[in-house]
Structure 1
Amino acid sequence: MRLINAMLLSLFVLSCSTGPKPIYYGQDACVFCKMTIVDKQHAAQLVTKTGKAFKYDAIECMLNDLKEWEHPEVQHYLVADYANPGVLTDASGAAYLISQEIPSPMGEFLTAFESEDKRNETVQDVSGTALDWKALKVEFEVN
């Protein structure tokens, strides 16, 4: 009985986590455009302070959703790290690149990198506009 109670308690604690939730590529749908999330290099996720996760197939979907955000306060803004497909990183500390040479799912050519160094390595191979989180929010007119 103790084992069952411990397992139930663990399940309850894990289900109440306010951290990122796994994105099931090829199964989960973007909450903004409703497309199936398949691109591990451009996905994004918001997690509210209550732990509800909102998953996106592209960073631009997340930004466009934020323009009219009527959900609970956001705890985590997360974006896929282009250099590490499937790995989410903190959006506010990420480095961004808008490059016609790197297509994104919704056609904005927007890509995120965990660090400026990783973005700068990519910029050596492609042209584009480098942005930080603050400049990106201005670009997409997000408060």
Structure 2
Amino acid sequence: MGRLIYILLMAVLFTSCEVGPEPIRYGEEGCQYCKMTIVDKQHASELVTNKGKVYKFDAIECMINYKSDNTAKDFELVLVNDYNNPGELIDATFATYLVSEQISSPMGANLSAFGVDDSASRMQSDYSGQLFNWLEIQPYISKN
């Protein structure tokens, strides 16, 4: 009996520490940074710590600013919604970003993320704007 309890306890411990994204409950959850309700499936984002704590954001710019303000936290996953696949979280470090005044985002930075480079380029040719990679977009948002 004691062995069974030990096995069950270990199973609970290992599953409770799993590091991974959580689905965003649109219209129900608030942004960790600005506290607005998360409703936009094209611009939401998430940070997940190396211990599995999930932080959700209504806009990519909120996530970037939160991450910049919390450098002591160790983030395992940095995720953004793919503009062309609303609600689908992708790795922010591999996304291409478009800042275009013709595509508004919830907090006004006009920032959208794309999982495929040519999608971002096509949107840029249709809507104008400036393209960035992950390393470029962080200081751009932080200074604006």
Scaled to the shorter chain, the TM-score interval is 0.7 to 0.9
Give, as a single letter, the amino acid of the residue that structure 1 aligns with 2:126. Answer: D
Counterpart contact for 1:50–1:72, Cα < 8 Å: no
Select the structure that is richer in helix: 2
Distance (whole Å) between structure 2 residues aligned to residue 10 and residue 39 of structure 1? 36
CA drift at 1:56 = 0.2
1:40-61 deviation digits (Å, cap 9, x = unpaired)? 0000100000000000000000
> Greater Rg, structure 1 or structure 2?
2
Segments of 5+ residues of structure 1 without an aligned counterpart are none
Q: 2:107 maps to which residue?
A: 106
SS at match of 2:136: helix
> What TM-score results when the alignment is normalised by the length of structure 1?
0.88
CA drift at 1:14 = 3.8
SS at match of 2:55: strand
> What TM-score results when the alignment is normalised by the length of structure 2?
0.87
CA drift at 1:10 = 6.1
Segments of 5+ residues of structure 2 without an aligned counterpart are 1-5
1:76-121 deviation digits (Å, cap 9, x = unpaired)? 0000000000000000000000000100000010000012111112
- Aligned positions, number: 142
CA drift at 1:20 = 0.8
Give, as a single letter, the amino acid of the residue that structure 1 aligns with 2:21. Answer: P
Q: Map 1:9-28; keep pairs closer than 5 Å.
A: 13-28=14-29
Give, as a single letter, the amino acid of the residue that structure 2 aligns with 1:102. Answer: I
1:15/1:116 CA distance change after superposition, 3 Å: same
Distance (whole Å) between structure 2 residues aligned to residue 140 and residue 120 of structure 1? 20
